[in-house]
Amino acid sequence: MSEPRRPAAFRIEPAPEAKAGKEAGEDTRRPQAVRLDETVTVTPAEIDVFDSLEPAAAPPPPAAPARRSRLGTIFFAALGMLVSLAAGLWADRLIRDLFSRADWLGWLGAALTAVVALALLAILAREILALSRLASVEKMRQRADDAYERDDAKDARAVIDQLSALFHSHPDTAVGRQKIKEMEDDVIDGRDLLGIAERELLAPLDRRAQKLVLDAAKRVSLVTAVSPRAMMDVGYVIFEAARLLRRLSELYCGRPGFLGFLRLSRNVLAHLAVTGSMAMGDNIVQQIVGHGIAARLSARLGEGVVNGMMTARIGIAAISAIRPLPFRAVERPGMGDFLKALTQFAAKTDGNRS
């Protein structure tokens, strides 16, 4: 068995760069640690170097929210109180006149007044409940956007719980709610949780919404094709768009009520104005001509298809404005999804007429 080798000292030659620097007279020593109680001297040259560095751009300050004028609120509140006082005085005078004629007429008038008052209170309660539901859906959308940007799993789970509570009465979402409950603890990313909720809960409702839009577009194309007056065409398009907006709101958010319907209409019009969807004449005509549809349809049916596509575009804007979550994991519906089905329906209708 051989003896172990004894330790020995070896001379390590410096690297060529270090050796060349040493020959040139440069200081190749390693930088020494500076003690905290020592004074550090910075040369003017080093100060110039630091001054030449550009500072990091500060984030822009958040835009201040626009202050709403309270004059309109004060005006409508005062007007409502004045109308209420006038209605109360009119009812009091009416009941007194009925009592002066006969007691049973007075009691009948008082009972009818009580019924009207109770019905009015019920209507107001329903409107307030519908407005609160719409406000909660808008807050849910904002919270979902914030959770997606920060990838916050806690806020994402809270949004999913609100979404499941909103759709607890929809039979189309029963399977999706069960799947989310089974896999919720297995997913830790907020964005993935929101994507799963969008695919499982909103995708079935999106398919129903697209069917509602397509049916409305078909009705508009057919009615405006046989309508003899342009004013009737405009009136029916407005009527069908209003009915479509109400049905979509009932699908996604529940019954909106009258005030809620006005609020949704304003949101849809704002969405159309922002996306530029109202300027659609040339775009729709180019799509129809590009698909060779104009050569296969009569002039009246071609106008009906254009009106139907306008209704479809309003429906797409309504879906984007009413939907509780923005389109991320699910593809947003486009005009091409409705153009083929609508033109086939128009061609079939033209063939039956001929």
* pLDDT averaged per 10 residues in sequence order, the chain, 354 residues: 57 53 49 44 46 43 53 85 90 90 90 91 88 85 89 87 85 85 79 88 90 89 78 84 88 80 80 57 49 51 76 86 87 80 71 59
Tell me whether residue 283 is in a domain.
yes
Distance CA 169, CA 179 (A): 16
Cβ–Cβ < 8 Å for 244, 315: yes
> Which residue in 91, 92, 95 sits closest to 107, CA to CA?
95
Range of the domain at 277: 204-353
The reported pLDDT for the residue numbered 47 is 43
Distance CA 322, CA 9 (A): 81
Tell me whether residue 271 is in a domain.
yes
Tell me whether residue 91 is in a domain.
no
> H/E/C letters for each residue in 125-164?
HHHHHHHHHHHHHHHHHHHHHHHHHHCCHHHHHHHHHHHH
The reported pLDDT for the residue numbered 84 is 86
Tell me whether residue 237 is in a domain.
yes
Tell me whether residue 334 is in a domain.
yes
User: What are the phi and psi torsion angles at 94 (to 5°)?
Assistant: -65, -45
> Which residue in 53, 334, 122 sits closest to 213, CA to CA?
334
Tell me whether residue 18 is in a domain.
no
Q: How many domains does the chain have?
A: 1
The reported pLDDT for the residue numbered 265 is 81
User: What are the phi and psi torsion angles at 57 (to 5°)?
Assistant: -65, 125
Tell me whether residue 147 is in a domain.
no
Number of neighbours of residue 174 by Cβ within 10 angstroms: 13
CA atoms within 13 A on the CB side of 47: 4
The reported pLDDT for the residue numbered 33 is 44
The reported pLDDT for the residue numbered 31 is 44
> Which residue in 203, 200, 173, 168 sits closest to 184, CA to CA?
200
The reported pLDDT for the residue numbered 169 is 81
The reported pLDDT for the residue numbered 93 is 92
Tell me whether residue 224 is in a domain.
yes
Cβ–Cβ < 8 Å for 138, 178: no
pTM comes to 0.65
The reported pLDDT for the residue numbered 295 is 47
Tell me whether residue 319 is exposed, middle or buried, using C-beta atoms within 10 angstroms of its C-beta: 0 to 12, 13 to 18, 19 or more.
Answer: buried
The reported pLDDT for the residue numbered 82 is 92
Distance CA 124, CA 149 (A): 38
The reported pLDDT for the residue numbered 4 is 58
